[in-house]
Structure 1
Amino acid sequence: MKRLLAAALAALLMIQPALAQHGEEGDLALRRALTYRDNGNPSLAAHWLGVAAARGMPEAMFLLANMLLEGDGVPKDEAAARRWLEAATEQDYPEAWQQLGMMEKDPEKAGQYFRRAAHALTHRGELKR
């Protein structure tokens, strides 16, 4: 019994930093959004992505931005999508840098965004080691 409690406590301590970064509410909202998206309900997915994005979760910001770009479950809104992508890049989210690069008309600026994406992706790989 003591081993079970010790293992449960150790597991809780390992996930605590991830929950603390964006809050448990943000994590739960993201999971709920992904469930709604996977079950074919894009409008509810967009709602919960908005909740998670407002809690500072860059993955949610990126996914919501793409829904806004496509008009998937929400009205198309490129300006709002760009704002969410830029918010995600403030946390150095590689996919957001890449998306901004694909949207950019100026080739030089697009190249800068792609280099930032590659740099951010390199650091993500280093964190997982």
Structure 2
Amino acid sequence: MGRYANRIAKGRFKLDSIEYQLPVNNNGQTLHDGLKGLYQRVWNVDKVTDNSIDFSYISLDGEEGFPRTLSIHVNYTVTPDNEFKISYKASTDKPTVVNLSNHAYFNLKGDGGGTITDHVLMINAENITPVDSVLIPTRDSTS
């Protein structure tokens, strides 16, 4: 997705007393990564095995308005129990904001089985994160 999953209100945040303005791309907010997300970048393929693949990418200081250079490593693995796991590691040269996530969608009907628009997903969660009218979190999770 981007260097910061979810929305940043008005595309602005403060870090070490410096205010940063990011490109806004979603109802006046920054969603995920601004105008050109990490999913639109060319990643390095570092390692491939029968059940996993490792990627890396270096997001340079200033890319999409984000401060500091961020080195990202992602591993996708299918386990012997048919679990699909995604692992992230990130490091930076100086303090920055980062909130990595994944936005892959899967058609549970299988290839050629039709659309996913009638899939139903239930998340058995004890808490939610409330949001305002432009989907900015309003406070810590609540039940």
Structure 2 length-normalised TM: 0.22
Which protein has the bigger strand share? 2
Structure 1 length-normalised TM: 0.24
Which protein has the bigger helix share? 1
